[in-house]
Chains A and B, each alone.
Chain A
Amino acid sequence: NAGVTQTPKFQVLKTGQSMTLQCAQDMNHNSMYWYRQDPGMGLRLIYYSASEGTTDKGEVPNGYNVSRLNKREFSLRLESAAPSQTSVYFCASSERSGTGGEGNQPQHFGDGTRLSIL
């Protein structure tokens, strides 16, 4: 009963280093999402993937790339980390409603990756 699994849970990087945050879901959901959560800012969408093979930019995509590896996995990559990217990162997934959209389906979240960039 894993749901959405994120790895790693914690990471410290130096400015300029790169890393990939991993996310996998076992609920057969079509759509997956990456958010960042900062104090006083709520959740901000970085990228999302409406279905396998597609990705789209969210509200704050600069400095990030994503890969929808298959239906289960959606990774987030920081090519050259900056201190402004210090945050808690959440992956989420959602199933498609019967009408072809997802209007009334909630999102399921992982427990987050706490990333510090020095």
Chain B
Amino acid sequence: GNSVTQMEGPVTLSEEAFLTINCTYTATGYPSLFWYVQYPGEGLQLLLKATKADDKGSNKGFEATYRKETTSFHLEKGSVQVSDSAVYFCALKDTGGFKTIFGAGTRLFVKA
């Protein structure tokens, strides 16, 4: 079945450091891929998405590229801020499907 694997956290960085959170997936066909972010006490919210191979999703300085050859969708940001501290979830959704498969989440702490 479909699955998403993302790097375990927590990840602790200093402000202005480079961020990478790895995500790989297993799926048949051509799923859509998402990154969601969850701030303390809130629900998940969409950060970015990509719907086909080689697409790059971007938002708020975060980027991720849909790599079908490596079945990956790694999240990157060139310079993190304290306000980026949150839990990040990688997810996939089959074309035509109704269910989203979420990774376990990666907690990010950014120190001033």
A interface residues, Cβ below 8 angstroms from B: 4, 31, 40-43, 45, 48, 50, 58, 90, 92, 94, 99-112
Contact = CB atoms under 8 A, between A and B. Distances in A.
A103 B43 contact: no
Contacts of B42: 111-112
Given A40-B104, A42-B89, A42-B102, A109 B97 contact: no
B81 interface: no
A10 B5 CA distance: 31
A44 to B, nearest CB: 9
Given A42-B104, A109-B44, A111-B43, A58 B96 contact: no
B100 interface: yes
B77 to A, nearest CB: 19
A31 B46 contact: no
B41 A111 contact: yes
Nearest to B30: A103
A100 B89 CA distance: 26
Given A90-B44, A109-B44, A110-B43, A102 B98 contact: yes
